[in-house]
Structure 1
Amino acid sequence: MKMTLEKFIKLHKLKTFFKFLTIIIVLLLFFFTLNLDFQDYIDGFTRLKGLVISMMRIDTEDKKIVLFKMFETIVTAFASSFIGVILAVLCSPFLATNISNKYLARFLTICFSVFRTVPALVMAAILVSLIGIGSFTGFISLLIITFFSATKLLKEYLEEINQAKIQSFRTFGFSKFTFLKSCIYPFSKPYIISLFFLTLESSIRGASVLGMVGAGGIGEELWKNLSFLRYDKVSFIILILLIFIFLTDSLSWFFRKKDSLIKITTYQGYKKSKVISKLVTCLILILLVYSLNILYEDTNKISLPIFLERLLVFFKKLSYLDFSYTPKVLLALWQSFLVAFFATFFAAPTAIVISYFASSVTSNKTIAFIIKIFINFIRTLPPVIVAILFFSGFGPGLISGFFALYFYTSGVITKVYVDVLESVETDYGLYGRSLGLKNFYTYLKLWLPSTYTNFVSIFLYRFESNMKNSSVLGMVGAGGIGQLLMNHIAFRNWEKVWVLLIFLIITIILIENLSEYIRNKVNN
């Protein structure tokens, strides 16, 4: 059937109508779900303003304790990231369908997906109940999450390696170990280093809040001062946290870019780089052993028989699942889903607008630099901490979780999308100027359509991540399934905890698969 101009105009009008209808439905559902009137928003932001003013006064009285706890947090993040990535390097070839047996790879991928979907804070809360409070428990929980997450990313990377290169190495008849060492590892080495620093950044953010459930680190001090309404001390902790996360981000950026920043042009320079690499490896191993010793000594350890007894009870409760609890679980899960959806839905257009000012290819370079600093500040704060601050303004409920995820997601999407815009080789700004278009119109009509598929992928990835985050926010009073999890973990009602985890895992896996399907459709 031919597409006439009249049909095209009608189709365009119909698409526009459905877009506006979707936005109106989402807005109505949003206000209906939160169940707040306009005065509630005014009162909430008024209280939040008072909170921000009180945080302007910084109390450094506990600086020694805070710095020690920050050191503990970094040690936890470093040890869990390093060991987690090493284990992922060893295991990921068995999950890649182009390297391992396809049936084994698919089976292991399904098993790994189950563990990967459990949020770190939930994992830490369970392990604290089984093992005891302290940093070593936080290290184990982060190690588990890092291992499964890094394995997934490495598996996806390995599956993108050119099949011809793999087959050419296989024709030599190498053993499995030699094949992995001589073929797979050299191809993957730059990505593995990059992955380690990315997981380190993520682990520091994760480790900074584990103390809220007794898993050590700076989160313990943060939670204690929030409980006593000592916002002057809270602001100092957040400041220290921001500084260390910024330093980690900068270090991560340097190591990911070092090959392009440091050029080795002579054989002598190559030999020196090899010696330096060996020295750095030895230093890392020494730091790792030292870190593990610090974490182990800091934990209130229980005897092995008691731990095994608790673990046995934990798994025994799988045979006593309380499915009469299902209606309440589904309601809480629906609330967590809505918070994740609304936060991502509203953050997307916000990020599109901010990205225009934050990108050096669409805006003034000075303005872009200032906006980037602001964006880095927003995305540096873990959503749980932001949720606690909004909790002080709006009280318990979904609204605190929504605002926490909305601000955090806006920052993350903007940061990633700005990187996409600045990596585009075509200068659409030049095209726009030659046509006499204004900068913002050029951005909407040229830059945005050319990076549309990238933006959709970023949006879907953030929605997946926000589903995990929203399930955790309830643990600090922001509603949803996290609130139920926290209550039942505290009282060791494992039969209910298992039901909550099963529904949460199934939901996250379904969202991930749906997201992957949509991404593939958009990219194709």
Structure 2
Amino acid sequence: MEQQIAALKKPRKTKHLLTVVLLLILFYASSYNTKAYIEDLISGLPNMQSILVKMASPDWSYFEPIITPVLDTIRMAFIGTLLGAILSIPVAFLAANNLFGKWVTIPARFILNIIRAIPELLIAALFVAIFGMGMIPGILAIAFFSMGIISKLLYESIETIDPGPLEAMTAVGSKKLVWIRFAVIPQVLASFTSYVLYTFEINVRAAAILGYVGAGGIGINYERVMGFLEYQKLSTIVFAMFVVVVIIDWISTKLRERLV
């Protein structure tokens, strides 16, 4: 019996070993082709250490000047997320296979794929070229990014709802808008709210770097202090954003616990 068990374990160990070897080969091949050598990483550790030492002593006098940009970043993320959530509702309904036919869902999903394929910074740069520097390009970029994420998650939730209420309302002759209102929305409302809160958390982090392309917020301060190598001030900004993210994450978690 023990010999049979050992015979069964041996092929498994061989498969695991081959998997590890294959992963190592892929890792080193990728490192070689991208010129991301481990030796370069090791040689750069002293520079990393010197930067971390400088960041270990934040410049707290810089905290007050960044309060307004941090609040602008939060406002920008909130408005952009709200606009994106509103835009995502009709798009998600159109992309759900159990609500509309393929002649509607395929174009809707194609549009969503295009939106998600464009990087947020590129969208912000395009809006900066159209509207000029400021918070409007950042808000619009976040709105498009949010619409892509929320629509994707929402239409997948719609496709998993209980079909019973839909079939019952269709059988009595209800119009599509009516059974969407009374059979679909109640089943996905909690999930939709959770998706919006989750996207808002992501957007607060994303909005912090949109200033690199002139889209407002704390990103402008990031670019300024990095350009002058003021790592003490950079550390202050990082700490401020860390506090903001932790608070938002805590509030969002509490709200999701009540909704889901």
TM bin (shorter chain): 0.7 to 0.9
8 Å contact kept, 1:336–1:467: yes
Change (3 A) 1:415 1:309: closer
Q: Does 1:423 align with 2:143?
A: no
Task: Provide TM-score, normalisation by structure 2.
Answer: 0.86
In 1, Cα distance between equivalents of 2:105 and 2:13:
39
8 Å contact kept, 1:356–1:440: no
In 2, Cα distance between equivalents of 1:275 and 1:487:
54
Q: Does 1:442 align with 2:179?
A: yes
Q: Does 1:294 align with 2:33?
A: yes
Structure 2 counterparts to residues 37-48 of structure 1, below 5 A: none
Change (3 A) 1:378 1:273: farther
1:313, CA displacement in angstroms? 4.7
Change (3 A) 1:309 1:343: closer
Aligned equivalent of 1:316, options 34, 40, 54: 54
Amino acid at match of 1:363: F
Aligned equivalent of 2:198, options 461, 468, 472: 461
In 1, Cα distance between equivalents of 2:20 and 2:37:
26
In 1, Cα distance between equivalents of 2:13 and 2:76:
50
Partner of 2:212: 475
Aligned equivalent of 1:388, options 117, 125, 147: 125
Identity %: 24
> Per-residue displacement from partner, 1:244-298 (whole Å, max 9, x unpaired)?
xxxxxxxxxxxxxxxxxxxxxxxxxxxx999888756543321111112334457
Partner of 2:5: none
Amino acid at match of 1:288: F
In 1, Cα distance between equivalents of 2:207 and 2:36:
33
1:399, CA displacement in angstroms? 0.9
Change (3 A) 1:292 1:360: same
Amino acid at match of 1:460: L
Partner of 1:262: none
1:383, CA displacement in angstroms? 0.8
Partner of 1:511: 248
Partner of 1:11: none
What do you get for the CA RMSD once the two structures are aligned? Answer: 2.7
Amino acid at match of 2:192: F
Partner of 2:7: none
In 2, Cα distance between equivalents of 1:300 and 1:488:
29
In 2, Cα distance between equivalents of 1:339 and 1:317:
27
1:365, CA displacement in angstroms? 2.5
8 Å contact kept, 2:94–2:108: yes
The number of residue pairs the alignment matches comes to 251
Higher relative contact order (CA 8 A, sep 6+): 2
8 Å contact kept, 1:322–1:499: yes
**Which ranges of structure 2 fall in alignment gaps of 5 or more residues?**
1-10
In 1, Cα distance between equivalents of 2:102 and 2:12:
36
**Which ranges of structure 1 fall in alignment gaps of 5 or more residues?**
1-271
1:435, CA displacement in angstroms? 3.3
Aligned equivalent of 2:24, options 282, 285, 297: 285
1:429, CA displacement in angstroms? 2.5
In 1, Cα distance between equivalents of 2:106 and 2:151:
13
Aligned equivalent of 1:350, options 74, 82, 87: 87
Partner of 2:68: 331
In 2, Cα distance between equivalents of 1:303 and 1:288:
17
